[in-house]
């Protein structure tokens, strides 16, 4: 039996299918009583688990570039896709270029400020539980419900993403920002550049990472610029992190926190994340600062633009995300305290990360009806992630 990336979840799946053709994939899916797609395993709950699993990474990459879009095998990682864009760029990347595009899209994984990664989807193709190949494009009636599909509609096989002209990004880290400055100027700080991450362990603001299209600013209120590269977990060697100190570089080598080709992040960890309306950010920070949060390696605060995708954590609300990286130990009690502290602020947990309580989504009933229609056998709806 296999495990997820962090080793905190052992999959019950008795078999992992790795088809090499679309027809093979369709046959596998149609025959399986219970099945889920498996990507880079960078999830921290059972969202990718079922009696059987299937990976589309064995299908041809078949990258097709158009003037302002790219179409490709959804099982590619962002790092693999970035290398084939030939002078084009994506609007955003997550912290890790190692994750599959399909997995990031399915769970509304985000970058910072410019909208979650799924907002770039222009068209998609998936195989339903009857083996049917279904396609949808932006503007189609069900499209906004199909993009962030949580693995419950089918197996995503191909995607078309918006692209834009190539751009460079400069990254600078600031240290020692006071809580007073962060709370008083929260909106200005989190909007200071194209992407902003605040790292903390709730006793102090450890770092603020600014990623700018062009040159990042050299001052940030009462913080001081770091004089060496940093890792988000401040005690760790930054050798695997993307270059800082304001040095410009290609978008794909600055927007992520971690470099391609290296082991990302801490490894033996469990991640959780909660997304709230942005207007609650300051009060949520104050609530979290009042907690004792054991086993915490680091927290990250970022913002996300509102979108129209039914099951997105940022659906119809500009949002702030509170991310937690914990040691790989039992954390149910910690999550219970964190969720209780955030409960007044309408939190929506990242569906691929550890959590206890689900969020509230205005289009959840519409999504359930869409799942019943696209998955009449219930083959993708047997596992509720926690």
Instruction: Going residue by residue through the chain, which has 386 residues, state the pLDDT in tens, using 9 for 90 and above.
Output: 699 988 899 999 999 999 999 999 999 999 999 999 999 998 999 999 999 999 999 999 999 999 999 999 999 999 999 999 999 999 999 898 999 999 999 999 997 667 899 999 999 999 999 999 999 999 999 999 999 999 999 999 999 999 999 999 999 999 999 999 999 999 999 999 999 999 999 999 999 999 999 899 999 999 999 999 999 999 999 999 999 999 999 999 999 999 987 766 556 899 999 999 999 999 999 999 999 999 999 999 999 999 999 999 999 999 999 999 999 999 999 999 999 999 999 999 999 999 999 999 999 999 999 999 999 999 998 755 44
Structure tokens at 281: 């950010």
Structure tokens at 167: 């751009």
Identify any residues that bridge with 241 across adjacent strands, giving them in sequence order: 258
pLDDT in tens, 233-269: 999 999 999 999 999 999 999 999 999 877 665 568 9
Sign, CA torsion 352/271/222/218:
negative
pLDDT at position 265: 56
Domains and CATH numbers, the chain: 168-265 (3.30.70.2530)
Q: Dihedrals φ, ψ of 46, to 5°?
A: -95, 20
3-state SS assignment for residue 49:
coil
Whether 211 and 193 have beta carbons less than 8 Å apart is answered as yes
Q: How many residues would you count in the chain?
A: 386
Whether 366 and 145 have beta carbons less than 8 Å apart is answered as yes
Separation of alpha carbons 129 and 150, rounded Å:
15
Identify any residues that bridge with 133 across adjacent strands, giving them in sequence order: 127
Closest CA to 170 of 219, 228, 207, 211: 211
pLDDT at position 103: 95
């Amino acid at each position: 039996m296999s495990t997820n990336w962090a080793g905190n979840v052992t999959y019950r799946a008795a078999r992992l299918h790795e088809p090499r053709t679309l027809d093979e994939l369709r046959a596998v899916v149609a025959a399986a009583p219970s099945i889920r797609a498996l990507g880079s395993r960078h999830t921290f709950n059972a969202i990718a688990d079922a009696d059987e699993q299937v990976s589309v990474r064995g299908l041809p990459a078949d990258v097709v570039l158009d003037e302002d879009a790219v179409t490709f095998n959804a099982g590619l990682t962002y790092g693999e896709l970035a290398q084939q864009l030939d002078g084009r760029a994506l609007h955003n990347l997550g912290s890790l270029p190692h994750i599959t595009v399909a997995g990031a899209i399915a769970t509304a994984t985000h970058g910072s400020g410019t909208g979650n990664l799924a907002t770039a989807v222009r068209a998609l193709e998936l195989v339903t539980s009857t083996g049917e190949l279904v396609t949808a494009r932006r503007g189609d009636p069900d499209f906004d419900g199909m993009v962030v599909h949580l693995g419950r509609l089918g197996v995503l096989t191909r995607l078309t993403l918006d692209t834009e002209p190539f751009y460079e990004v400069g990254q600078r880290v600031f240290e020692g920002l006071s809580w007073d400055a962060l709370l008083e100027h929260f909106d200005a700080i989190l909007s200071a550049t194209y992407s902003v991450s605040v790292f903390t362990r709730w006793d102090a603001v450890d770092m603020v990472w600014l990623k700018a299209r062009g040159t990042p600013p050299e001052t940030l209120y009462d913080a001081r610029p770091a004089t060496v590269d940093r890792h988000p977990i401040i005690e760790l060697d930054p050798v695997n992190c993307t270059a800082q100190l304001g040095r410009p570089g290609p978008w794909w080598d600055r927007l992520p926190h971690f470099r391609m080709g290296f082991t990302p992040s801490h490894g033996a960890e469990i991640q959780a994340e909660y997304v709230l309306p942005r207007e609650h950010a300051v009060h949520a920070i104050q609530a979290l600062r009042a907690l004792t949060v054991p086993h915490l390696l680091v927290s990250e605060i970022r913002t996300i633009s509102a979108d129209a995708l039914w099951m997105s954590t940022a659906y119809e609300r500009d949002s702030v995300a509170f991310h937690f990286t914990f040691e790989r130990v039992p954390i149910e009690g910690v999550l219970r305290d964190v969720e209780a502290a955030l409960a007044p602020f309408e939190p929506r947990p990242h569906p691929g990360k550890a959590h206890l309580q689900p969020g509230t989504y205005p289009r959840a009933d519409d999504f359930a009806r869409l799942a019943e229609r696209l998955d009449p056998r219930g083959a993708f709806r047997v596992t509720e992630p926690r």
